[in-house]
Structure 1
Amino acid sequence: MQQDKHPDYRPVVFRDRAAGYAFLTRSTASSDETIEWDDGETYPVVDVEISSQSHPFYTGKARTVDSEGRIARFERRYGGAEPTAGRETDR
């Protein structure tokens, strides 16, 4: 590995403002702001909009698509599927 070519890899605190949650991990992200962590050390802090604590997929608040209801509504509007027996299909 060449020297002075790669960014500095160090401990960084990522803070999710929406959820009021912060976690310490290692990253190359840089920031001018710092925060004192639980262990008494001071680390750079990076504010993020979404983390696993506020993302709908991870919190279980994600909306699911009701595909069965959409199919039933389509069939009510436009009729059921016609049988394909006896018809030639394009290839």
Structure 2
Amino acid sequence: MKKSIHPDYRPVVFRDRGAGFAFLTRSTAETTQSVEWEDGATYPVVDVEVSSASHPFYTGKSRVMDSTGAVEKFNRRYSGRTRG
């Protein structure tokens, strides 16, 4: 690898404040904030809007689309029209 062209790959904490969830991993994400982690060391922190703790797919709180109702509504609205 060429020297000085790659971003710094270091431990970073990703934090989902809405869910109260954080995890430590390695990343090249740039940030100016830092946080003290459970092991007593200070790491850069990246705040994220959605994580596995708050995403509907992972939490099981996803909405089920009412496709049957939507199709019936479409058919009622456009069933009497003809191409012309």
User: Shorter-chain TM-score category?
Assistant: 0.7 to 0.9
Aligned to 2:25: 25
Moved over 2 A (4+): 66-75
Q: Count matched residues.
A: 78
SS at match of 2:58: helix
Q: Which consecutive residues of structure 2, in runs of 5 or more, have no partner in the other structure?
A: 80-84
Cα drift, residue 17 of structure 1: 1.0
Once residues 3 and 72 of structure 1 are traced to their aligned partners in structure 2, the CA distance between those partners, rounded to angstroms, is 62
Q: State the Cα distance separating 1:61 from its structure 2 match.
A: 1.2
- The TM-score normalised by the length of structure 1 is 0.73
Q: TM-score, normalised by structure 2?
A: 0.78
Structure 1: how far apart are the matches of 2:31 and 2:9?
13
Aligned twin of 1:83 = none
Alignment of 1:59-78 (within 5 A): 59-72=59-72, 77=76, 78=79
Return the alpha-carbon distance in structure 1 between the equivalents of residues 11 and 17 of structure 2: 19
Give % identity: 66
- For the residue of structure 2 that corresponds to 1:57, the secondary structure is helix
Greater Rg over alpha carbons, structure = 1
User: Is 2:11 aligned against 1:8?
Assistant: no
Distance (whole Å) between structure 1 residues aligned to residue 30 and residue 74 of structure 2: 52
Gap regions ≥5 residues in structure 1: 79-91
Q: What is the one-letter code of the residue matched to 1:65? A: M
Corresponding residue for 2:52?
52
| Offset at residue 51 of structure 1 (A) | 0.8
RMSD across aligned positions (CA): 1.7
Separation of aligned partners in 2, 1:74 and 1:13: 47
